Structure 1
């Protein structure tokens, strides 16, 4: 049996603060977290804001680091001083969480250290894990056996 230390990390790993709710987009998230004027945020490779209908993410991806711990520590470093803003978002009815996302295949794992888990707990938001499929990989049709 392989231990967590021997497993390869998830591919295409990213760690994100995800905020969703009415009127949430990238400009809203930048303003709420006061990141627009932050030097560390704007100059960091692999640290970006993305948005879709009713949601925005502050994402640290594998261009910054392939390690879940390093990605999470960067996110914690950006968010810890902004915890009051996270609390205000939750009080305003927005859904706020930290999500680890990547391609999880056989022989891969996601290692998160106790120090990172403690830092995430201090943020006071749920942590979720999302596994995705590699682009171009066909979905198996569960009804194919019917002919």
Structure 2
């Protein structure tokens, strides 16, 4: 798909570095990526660290840009100088990936430019895509009538 083509983007889009493991949390990820003292990180709109039991993410969300390409480029901009830290996380046995997640509706798409895809490849971590259902949407199986 050409960049100029009119394609409705995924809704609620976010692009994240996801790290999993027993002791992984926000403080762990901030320290590992050496972001705790980064003025650039703390002043970036739509860029943050989130965590739950056994996982943490470094996320660029729609407040930064609604474009998957721009979100991934921003993530690459932060992570490229920290590639050694990413490699250390992988060597320590931590599952590490980049995930692009959002609500994919009929007629929507996700465009990522070749340059950004190359930048993601240079990070050396898998890239996954997660689609989620919009809240309030009917969860009935649309093919249930076939029974």
TM-score by length of 1: 0.92
Aligned residues: 146
What secondary structure is seen at the aligned counterpart in 1 of 2:100?
strand
1:117 equivalent to 2:104? Answer no
1:23 equivalent to 2:23? Answer yes
**Cα gap change, 1:142/1:11 in structure 2, threshold over 3 Å: closer, same or farther?**
closer
**Which residue is equivalent to 1:6?**
6
**Which residue is equivalent to 1:92?**
92
Q: Distance in 1 between matches of 2:143 and 2:46?
A: 40
**Which residue is equivalent to 2:129?**
129
Following TM superposition, by how much is the alpha carbon of 1:22 offset from its aligned partner in structure 2, in angstroms? 1.4
Q: Distance in 2 between matches of 1:138 and 1:57?
A: 29
What secondary structure is seen at the aligned counterpart in 2 of 1:64?
coil
What secondary structure is seen at the aligned counterpart in 2 of 1:6?
coil
Q: Distance in 2 between matches of 1:87 and 1:3?
A: 33
Cα deviation per residue 1:54-86 (whole Å; 9 max; x = unaligned)? 000000000000011110110000000000000
Give 4+ residue runs of structure 1 displaced > 6 Å after superposition: 142-145
What secondary structure is seen at the aligned counterpart in 1 of 2:24?
coil
1:68 equivalent to 2:90? Answer no
Cα deviation per residue 1:9-44 (whole Å; 9 max; x = unaligned)? 111110000000110000000000000111111011
Following TM superposition, by how much is the alpha carbon of 1:137 offset from its aligned partner in structure 2, in angstroms? 2.1
Give unmatched runs, 5+ long, in structure 2: none
What secondary structure is seen at the aligned counterpart in 1 of 2:12?
strand
